[in-house]
Chain A
Amino acid sequence: MTLLEVTLLTPLVGGLLLAFVGHRPIGGWINVAVSVVTFAASLIMALDVFAGGPQLTTGKLFYIDAFNVYLVALTAFVGLSTAIFSRPYMRHEVEIGRVTGGRLRLYHSMYQGFLFAMLLALSTNNLGVLWVAMEAATLTTVLLVSLYRTPESVEAAWKYFILCGVGIAQALFGTVLVYFAAEQKLGAGRDDTLLWTVLHASASSLDPTVLSLAFVFLLVGYGTKVGLVPLHAWLPDAHSEGPTPMSAVLSGLLLNVALYALVRLKMLVDASLHTHLAGYLMMGFGLVSFMVAGLFLHRQHDIKRMFSYSSIEHMGLMTYAFGLGGPLATFGALLHMTVHSLTKSAIFITVGHASQLAGTQRIDKIRGLIRTQPAVGWGLLIGTVAIAGFPPFGVFTSEFLLLTATMKAWPWLAVPLLVGFGVAFAGLFRHLHPMVYGEPPPGQKPVHANMLPVMLHLALVLWLGLAIPGFLARWFEQATLLISGASPL
């Protein structure tokens, strides 16, 4: 078996196994073990690709290059650390009676199914399979959003299902149009026309009118999953009503995978159009999402909703940066993808502990975290400082790179960006301050919390902010070279 097969099959087999034993106490451990194997395989594969260049499997169904392999490794890593967090968290949920054994089994099984769908979406070479995997990622998580079966969670799951389902249907139409354009050029009757490698090689000869039409549909389709305003309505609901480990992986990983799909397709469209149409569209959508989500941060009353708006804001920023193009912005966007995933999943893990501790997700009921349980309180404080873009954390580095790139290409756009950073910072901190400091309500007791994943994530983000290790920088450089055609270093 190749490493890729191990990476893909482990979560699939693990998910099937957990469908039978997921409710037992050992289920949580199996979930962790499966994630360890997946991560180890993906890491070795990443080093392989880094040393030996892109790999195309024999059936041409999978293609691994510098761009997606780092996302595969990141996905497997966040999947692992969230699995470590989710084991005690879900046990606690079972103990207080919010989740029954059957639903725990569903949760564990679908957790691995979701990881499989995302890894498949990242590693496939076929644009149709990419779509199928993205839809599968929705299908595996929709029942997890409604895991608690409260009216709110059922409503959130229904919205998630309908909006993402219809949204992503647009992406399928876009894919059909790309296929149509390719068949016109490459001839009908070939079965490799939808492969990304084939399309990318012949992109410059594809019909620009059809491809620009296709990109509009693809942007709306995958943009719904990225959470771009005004297609974002499902995102805060799905993130706030589901179990917290789900929020961590949805926010840290699923949004990335959707953005990955969009960037891949932008590479095709750019090569065909020879204009910046796709880039302009992405810049516009991204900037609007960035600004609107920053404003929405101010009026949140639910802690998980607040951080999901922060995710929309950051995804908007990344979409904007990929749209901006150019080596510096692309490098910054790739770095931002990494640090945002790490930081946001760390924050959601901390938020999960904080809301278990306070017994609620309402911001005005969560008080005095540092007094009650310093690890959780400081974790939330440091995580929020990191996500707000303070130096020395990695988010600062990437945001600074993006700002520099903006100054070079579109100086006047630096103004809304800076204002947006300020608005988002104020929105986060006006809610954060009373939650971590302040007087704890009487009778608030510490919970059993495993802060190891949080510390690991935040340490990595800090490291990326202080000094990007040489091999990682070269790796980002390879990916940037692939996407933008020029090296930033």
Chain B
Amino acid sequence: MDFAQLSLYNQAIIVFAALVLFTSFIMLAQARMLPLIFAFAWQGVLLAIVTALVAFVSDHPHLYISAALTVALKVFLIPWLLYRLAVRLNIHYDAEALRHPSLLLLAGAGLVIFSYYVALPIVQLSGLATRNTIAVSIAVVLIGMLLMIARKKAVAQVIGFMSIENGLFFSAVVSTYGMPLIVELGVAFDVLVAAILFGVFFFHMRESFDTLDVDRLTRLSEVHEALLVHEETGKQPPDGT
């Protein structure tokens, strides 16, 4: 593929798609909470720009609505919600000790290569101008998952979750010029409700565990249950008392 032969708009789409992927990598390595939230907001901005460009190039006006939804939800509302929560829970200056950050980034790069491999049959079939970025969207999804696996802080996991959503939305835009509007509205609604519920959960977790570290959530596992029986210390039974 000779990129110089593409129209300027198509080149711009590819550049911005690459930047979306770049923000994914930033999030992967960013240990501090506030910059993490801002990186997520920037990913939303770039995603909205790509969507608007695709809408313009492909003449799909309903994608403008999707772009507007992205700006409203993923650039303003959800980052603002997370920011407010981080400030109220006083974790906004927290930094997480990342083990092996360079290894994490290398794994991310590996996922990008894997995504190009997975996307091969799709790209061959597609005639869309945006087909070169399908692999990027898969990579954003997979890196979001890697982020959730590698991170211990609940806020970082939520960012990972939302960036998976970003990747899915991105894949719908570049592979099919967006899902039908009713589906996109439904998905946006689900994401919004999920974001609010996550906020509720931060408070519950703070109340119950006094921390937002997810690796403290170890009470419910088969191993723990067996240990309890041996020690006869007994957890508080969920029923009674």
Contact = CB atoms under 8 A, between A and B. Distances in A.
Partners in one complex: yes
Nearest to B121: A209
Interface of B is mostly: helix
A240 interface: yes
A169 B190 contact: no
Contact of A172 (B145, B187, B205, B225): B187
Interface stretch (B39-47, B72-80, B163-171): B163-171
Contacts of B112: none
Interface stretch (B7-15, B16-24, B85-93, B212-220): B212-220
A421 interface: no
A158 B236 contact: no
A263 interface: no
Given A128-B180, A194-B179, A180 B217 contact: no
A143 B200 contact: yes
Contacts of A155: 208-209, 217, 219-220
A165 interface: yes
B239 interface: yes
B130 to A, nearest CB: 12
A358 B239 CA distance: 9
Interface residues of B, number: 56
Interface string A144-184: 00101111111111110110011001001101110111011
Contact of A132 (B165, B186, B209): B186
Given A173-B171, A299-B226, A361-B237, A162 B176 contact: no
Q: How large is the interface on A (under 10, 10 to 19, 20 to 34, 35 or more residues)?
A: 35 or more
A157 B201 contact: yes
B194 A188 contact: no
A157 B202 CA distance: 12
A299 B141 contact: no
Given A153-B238, A166-B164, A176-B172, A161 B126 contact: no
A360 B240 contact: yes
A301 interface: yes
Contact of B238 (A143, A236, A241): A241
B109 interface: no
Nearest to A301: B225
A18 to B, nearest CB: 18
A213 B161 contact: no
A101 interface: no
B239 A173 contact: no
Closest 3 CB pairs of A and B: A128-B183, A359-B240, A132-B186
8 contacts: A154-B207, A157-B201, A162-B157, A166-B164, A173-B138, A176-B172, A181-B125, A241-B220
